[in-house]
Structure 1
Amino acid sequence: MAGWLNLMPTGHVVPDTAAKVGPGVWEQQVNAGVSLHFSFEFDNPKTFAGSITHRAVGELGLFGVACLRHTVHRRPDDLTRAADASFLLTLQLAGTKQVTQDGRATTLRAGEFALYDSEQPLTFDVSDDYRSVNVRFRKATVGAHDAAAFAHLVARRFSADHGIAPVVWSTILSLGSLAPAHQPAGILLAGNVLDMTATMLRAHAGIAEPAGSDDRLRRRQAVQAYIDARLSDPDLRVETIAAACFVSVRHLHALFRDSGHTVAGWIRHRRVEACKADLANPAARDVPVAAIGARWGFGDPSHFGQVFKATAGVTPAEFRRRALA
């Protein structure tokens, strides 16, 4: 194993040992933990042992695996199960794994990693005494240009000792030690990890130019997700958003320059859309209009009415009447 990996606290992310578990239970645990559907073959199903841990941090899904020998497939039938189009990185900590995808096969040993694609058939042949840490991220988070380039990297072996890979993987392993109380910081850190991961993969794909518009789109989408999670906060301001996302106010405005909305305009737009959904919901028929506005950050009923009418063309009460007619 790469020397620096020996010093990392992998126990927070990857189980130290495999526990005896039935093949059916193992299939359920893996498919739930990875949020993809896999099929399995076992040499010795009666003696099989495996343990998996998983958690989500921001846009990243982290899961660690310790297990005995078996084979894992993503067959064409498995690909039809609903799932976000994603890339997954797998770093070998112990044992070996042969990754077969897109007409290529490579064998990973400790200190090596590979990329695979949720939208292509796949086979893993896993050895005994196997341990790995794995990261899943949606293709949309890296943009269409990078996603197309990264698709050519699947089932290729890379060393975790070269380039920025040690920094990327040590940070990924550190994410697993974050306590739940530090989740907000973890979300921001996960965004930085995703940036580093994309930079690492761009280097392997031979992409020298900056990420450009796709990167700006991804960064804006991350800010929009942050805003969406806090629409109910009446004190949500451009300055606090910029500080939370570790960008300047000027840079934040620049991210929205070609989006059709200013930052403040986007907040108003999303709040009005959320109010529309509540006003059109029969189950919320008896909730006062002002209460719905307050629920989504409009503290002043008069201001809510003005903003809603300017956006929707009718008052909130009229919108509700038409929606529930």
Structure 2
Amino acid sequence: MTAAPLLWPEITVLERGWLSANNYLFQASGPDSAAALVDTGYCLHAEQTVALVQDSLGALPLARILNTHLHSDHCGGNAALQAAYPDVQTWIPPGEAAAVRVWDEERLSYRPTGQDCPRFRVEGLLQAGTEVMLGSRPWQVHAAPGHDPHSVILFEPERRLLISADALWEHGFGVVFPEIEGIHAFAEVGATLDIIEALQPAVVLPGHGALFTDVAAALTEARRKLTGFVADPRKHARYAAKVLLKYKLLEWQQIAAADALRWMLATPYFRTLHTRYFAADTPTAWAQSLVHELERSGAAAVQGGVLHNR
């Protein structure tokens, strides 16, 4: 985790790792200013998230939490922040408010991914086509389906700043989760990239990784990757499986290799990916191949029967 300096008078950038999405904290000067935080990281880092926000705000209250989407790495700190700031209002994209209110972990993806997210409440919706005040400036809300069907991105047109969530990183974009479930969404990824290009952002504040300004290069790389996934959906399926495993390994740091295999075989998205794309291999052989590929890439290591994060 690194805390970037105040790049603009109202924005504090809290650049996290890959387990927790970046957090963007907005403050405006004046007695009527209301602090807002965009995305809150993974639950494992919730205590750290609260500490970072409190250190930045001091005695000022946090008025709003905004989630670009409800994957566990973007909203896992919501509950802890709601406990620390009881009056905070939490706004999410439309489409999953009902699932949040009844806490349906299947629809919210936490059970299928084998990830955790403490239950939180919701008060408002980030409707596409509207604006939200962050600091003293209005930010446009744009629908950004693909990685997640309900995701939004936020754009400030005067300075041309884009909070892109997982729709665009400097070197790609997030796993296209609907594709795991057999729902065609590659076209939506492409359409969202077109929206970003049309907005012509000068600076992108991504869901993961450092801020970047060479948006044209990032879009070119993202489209190249998308073209490869469209041509060979199995390539995306294998990429998705390795990302899910690596993400959990970031949480575990180390685990008995046999326990990691058992976790994969018991986790719904791994079973779905195996059945849909890799049924020619036994489930165990396929799961073992994912571990071997992480080893070959340097992202993991097995030593003495223990799987280590690298």
**Same fold by TM-score, threshold 0.5 exceeded?**
no
Q: TM-score, normalised by structure 1?
A: 0.32
Tell which structure's C-alpha radius of gyration is larger.
Answer: 1
